[in-house]
């Protein structure tokens, strides 16, 4: 149990008793953390995480049109935290502070679908998460040490920024981001001739530098790009395309009997860039990738309107989900070299096309040669064996009829989109847990009105059969997730900020006026701010900068300005700032919103706005 004096509850008692003086925090060790690892149950996987125990995996969930990312403990399925990304979050102040506004550049709102981590040698390196914004066409990077967004790159020339995947090998230098919607290029008044001519709409496969968060280039296509993947060799990225027709209505998008899996040749992309074979559109290098005009894209025909694409953890196969076809297409990645060399036809890269059921959307892997595919229409997860599917394909029609590849089918509740197994997008897929991100929960929870939660179901995949263990409600609407072994993340995550990484970190409180611009600098040490009052004049442009000087783990302060709709939280050693116009005269209390101390309620000061 450790020293009882040092847990958080007792900390409040001690500090409360010690009085209001600042610096009482120093009585406590800086990193008093006593939670324990979870004990594994007997006879299969146990989901139980007892009080005081920690989960085995960090789950990173996209938040869909909430615009955020969520951190879920697996297997408990407890929501541990939310990382605001493209949204406004009034609890933390994301979208309210100057720091977050600078990153959002005036657009707080988003639609996050795919969260993926940075890699080294095919396994997460614990440095970054990347996430797309389908709404405003950008990509954010979250630094894992603070679990906070540190960069957002706006991507011109695309719409429906959707499939996203980082380079897996040798390390993440590039991240690819797809445009699901074709548009004119450029898409502005200069090109209005194209508005009514969808044949002049194009898709883009965008490549982003993961460290610099700048666009490396875009590959222009006639097709749209839906989901994305990268191989385990650093040679190719892939996407599925469901609108090779350039349709603008559903029936037009379904007109062709087939669509494509597109494969992008990174070596040739680098060569084309070095040779200057691009044109610049909106400041971005655009490479020619259209059919018949370029050798950097390979088109593998797949049944019409495919959706997910996932790479098996052994790096051998890409699995493309049929969506409107009840099959998945298995592509052997070694054959892609041959197809690029012109030795085989693109369709000869396909080594199996097994039946899985109705509405296959996404596939994940257990690391033991099995794949698990989500079936939206059937509302099932189907487990199937990759080798058996390939073998049956070789033997022919009769062998395929028996569906020898299918291992198990599990009913889920209901209408599943993505599924993901623990570590499945890495070389170290461990085949323990599967999460089925179901779009519809219907009757699985207490009725909360017409708008119901999603239903994330936890499934034990350690045995032959898929075993449903837990239902977990999720607010609208996660699309995808990854589950990362705790040891790869935990040691990277910090308990406090580096105070002076923020150029405006405050060490001395005070008010400074330059004309109509007023800067209020103050420290926060629970339960006091560094100032008791600040006086400004009506109409002043006021910048408030606050630094939390408490080093105690988990001792965060809030800063809220009454009637000014300003509210944010500062974690240990963090600095945040806001700028506002003092347009409401009077006495306005600035108070701490984040419970910090026995005298938390007294942690307040006056902002006096004089006329």
Binding-site ranges for ligand CUK (CB under 6 A): 113-114, 162, 227, 307-308, 361-362, 417-418, 479-480
State the nearest-atom distance from the C-beta of 221 to Ca ion, in Å: 14
Tokens describing residue 539: 């109409």
Tokens describing residue 152: 């957002």
State the nearest-atom distance from the C-beta of 84 to ligand CUK, in Å: 20
State the nearest-atom distance from the C-beta of 111 to ligand CUK, in Å: 9
Residue 227 binding target from Ca ion, ligand CUK, none, CB below 5 to 8 Å by type: ligand CUK
Q: Which of 227, 424 has the CB closer to ligand CUK?
A: 227
Residue 597 binding target from Ca ion, ligand CUK, none, CB below 5 to 8 Å by type: none
State the nearest-atom distance from the C-beta of 580 to ligand CUK, in Å: 37
End-to-end CA distance of the chain: 57
Distance CA 226, CA 416 (A): 18
Site string for Ca ion, 246-285 (x = CB under 5 A): -------x-----x--------------------------
Distance CA 368, CA 15 (A): 53
- Window contacting Ca ion (CB under 5 A); options: 234-242, 332-340, 504-512, 581-589: 234-242
Interface of this chain with Ca ion, residues 312 to 351, rule: CB under 5 A: none
Name the helix (H) or strand (E) containing 332. Answer: strand 328-332
- Window contacting Ca ion (CB under 5 A); options: 299-307, 451-459, 481-489, 582-590: 299-307
Tokens describing residue 561: 């300005």
H helices then E strands: how many in the chain? 8, 42
State the nearest-atom distance from the C-beta of 418 to ligand CUK, in Å: 5
Closest CA to 133 of 78, 63, 195, 201: 63
User: Which value, to the nearest 10 degrees, does the dihedral of the CA atoms of residues 352, 357, 363, 366 take?
Assistant: -90
What are the beta bridge partners of residue 457? Answer: 436, 471
Q: Which of 81, 249 has the CB closer to Ca ion?
A: 249
Residue 418 binding target from ligand CUK, Ca ion, none, CB below 5 to 8 Å by type: ligand CUK
Closest CA to 71 of 53, 83, 84, 87: 83
Handedness of CA 271, 215, 185, 168 (dihedral sign): positive
State the nearest-atom distance from the C-beta of 313 to Ca ion, in Å: 29
State the nearest-atom distance from the C-beta of 242 to ligand CUK, in Å: 11
Longest dimension (CA), the chain: 88
| Distant-in-sequence, close-in-space partners of 327: CB < 8 Å, separation ≥ 6 | 303, 353, 354, 355, 356, 360
Closest CA to 549 of 492, 496, 478, 472: 496
Helix then strand then coil, % of the chain, to nearest 5: 15, 40, 45
Q: Which of 99, 111 has the CB closer to ligand CUK?
A: 111
Q: Which of 272, 375 has the CB closer to ligand CUK?
A: 375
Q: Which of 156, 308 has the CB closer to ligand CUK?
A: 308
Residue of this chain nearest to ligand CUK (CB atom): 417
State the nearest-atom distance from the C-beta of 439 to ligand CUK, in Å: 7
Instruction: Residue 442: count other Cβ atoms within 10 Å of its Cβ.
Output: 12
Residue 305 binding target from Ca ion, ligand CUK, none, CB below 5 to 8 Å by type: Ca ion
Residue 479 binding target from Ca ion, ligand CUK, none, CB below 5 to 8 Å by type: ligand CUK
**Which of helix, strand or coil describes residue 166?**
strand
Residue 259 binding target from Ca ion, ligand CUK, none, CB below 5 to 8 Å by type: Ca ion
Residue 162 binding target from Ca ion, ligand CUK, none, CB below 5 to 8 Å by type: ligand CUK
Distance CA 20, CA 12 (A): 12
Residue 400 binding target from ligand CUK, Ca ion, none, CB below 5 to 8 Å by type: none
CA distances from 579 to 9, 545, 565, 568 (A): 35, 9, 12, 13
Residue from the set 118, 187, 305, 557 that interacts with Ca ion by CB under 5 A: 305
The separation between CA 363 and the C-alpha centre of its own chain, rounded to angstroms, equals 18
Q: Which of 116, 162 has the CB closer to ligand CUK?
A: 162
State the nearest-atom distance from the C-beta of 125 to ligand CUK, in Å: 23
Residue 225 binding target from ligand CUK, Ca ion, none, CB below 5 to 8 Å by type: none
Residue 521 in contact with residue 506, Cβ under 8 Å?
A: yes
Closest CA to 548 of 590, 498, 511, 605: 498
Q: Which of 113, 400 has the CB closer to ligand CUK?
A: 113
Q: Which of 305, 381 has the CB closer to Ca ion?
A: 305
State the nearest-atom distance from the C-beta of 134 to ligand CUK, in Å: 7
**Which of helix, strand or coil describes residue 102?**
helix
Residue of this chain nearest to Ca ion (CB atom): 259
Residue 58 binding target from Ca ion, ligand CUK, none, CB below 5 to 8 Å by type: none
Residue 139 in contact with residue 208, Cβ under 8 Å?
A: yes
Closest CA to 608 of 589, 581, 583, 580: 589
State the nearest-atom distance from the C-beta of 301 to ligand CUK, in Å: 21
The binding site for Ca ion (CB under 5 A) comprises: 242, 253, 259, 304-305
């Amino acid at each position: 149990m450790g020293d009882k004096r040092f847990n958080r509850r007792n900390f409040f008692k001690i500090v409360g008793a010690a009085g209001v003086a600042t610096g009482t925090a120093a009585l406590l060790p800086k990193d008093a953390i006593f939670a324990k690892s979870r004990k594994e149950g007997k006879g299969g996987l146990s989901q139980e995480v007892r009080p005081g125990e920690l989960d085995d995996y960090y789950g990173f969930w996209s938040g869909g049109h909430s615009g955020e990312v969520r951190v879920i403990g697996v297997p408990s399925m407890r929501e541990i935290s939310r990382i605001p990304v493209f949204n406004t979050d009034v609890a933390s102040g994301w979208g309210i502070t100057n720091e977050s506004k600078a990153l959002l550049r005036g657009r707080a709102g988003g639609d996050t679908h795919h969260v993926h981590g940075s890699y080294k040698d095919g396994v997460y390196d614990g440095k970054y998460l990347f996430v797309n914004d389908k709404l405003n066409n950008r990509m954010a990077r979250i630094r894992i040490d603070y679990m906070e967004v540190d960069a957002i790159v706006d991507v011109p020339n695309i719409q429906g920024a959707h499939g996203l995947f980082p380079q897996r090998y040798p390390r993440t230098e590039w991240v690819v981001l797809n445009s699901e919607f074709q548009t004119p290029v450029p898409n502005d008044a200069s090109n209005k001739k194209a508005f009514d001519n969808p044949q002049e709409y194009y898709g883009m496969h965008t490549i982003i530098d993961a460290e610099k968060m700048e666009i490396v280039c875009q590959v222009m296509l006639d097709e749209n790009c839906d989901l994305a993947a990268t191989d385990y060799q650093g040679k190719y990225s892939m996407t599925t395309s469901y609108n090779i027709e350039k349709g603008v209505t559903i029936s037009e998008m379904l007109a062709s009997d087939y669509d494509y899996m597109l494969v992008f040749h990174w070596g040739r992309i680098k060569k084309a860039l070095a040779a200057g074979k691009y044109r610049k559109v909106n400041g971005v290098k655009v490479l020619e990738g259209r059919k018949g005009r370029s050798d950097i894209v390979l088109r593998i025909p797949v049944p019409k309107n495919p959706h997910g694409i996932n790479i098996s953890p052994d790096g051998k196969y890409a699995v493309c989900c049929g969506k409107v076809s009840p099959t998945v297409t298995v592509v052997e990645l070694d054959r892609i070299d041959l197809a690029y060399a012109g030795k085989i036809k693109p369709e000869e890269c396909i080594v199996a096309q097994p039946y899985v059921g109705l509405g296959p959307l996404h596939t994940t892997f257990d690391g033991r040669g099995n794949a698990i595919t989500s079936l939206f229409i059937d509302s099932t997860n189907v487990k199937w064996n990759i080798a058996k599917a390939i073998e049956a394909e070789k033997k022919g029609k009769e062998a395929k009829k028996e569906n020898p590849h299918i291992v198990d089918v599990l009913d889920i509740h209901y209408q599943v989109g993505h599924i993901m197994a623990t570590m499945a997008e890495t070389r170290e897929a461990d085949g323990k847990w599967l999460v089925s991100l179901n779009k519809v929960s219907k009757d699985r929870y207490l009725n909360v009105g017409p708008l119901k939660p999603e239903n994330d179901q936890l499934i034990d995949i350690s045995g032959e059969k898929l075993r449903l263990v837990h239902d977990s409600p999720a607010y609208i609407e996660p699309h995808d997730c990854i589950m990362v072994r705790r040891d790869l993340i935990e040691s990277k995550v910090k308990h406090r900020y580096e105070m002076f990484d923020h150029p405006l970190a405050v060490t001395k409180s005070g008010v400074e006026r330059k004309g109509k611009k007023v800067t209020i600098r103050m420290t926060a040490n629970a339960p006091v701010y560094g100032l008791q009052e600040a006086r400004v004049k009506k109409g002043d442009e006021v910048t408030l900068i606050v630094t939390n000087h408490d080093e105690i783990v988990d001792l965060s302060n809030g800063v809220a300005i009454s009637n000014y709709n300003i509210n944010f939280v500062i974690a240990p050693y963090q600095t945040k700032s806001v700028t506002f116009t003092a347009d409401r005269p009077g006495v306005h209390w600035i108070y701490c919103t984040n419970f910090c101390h026995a005298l938390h309620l007294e942690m307040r000061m006056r902002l006096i706005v004089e006329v």
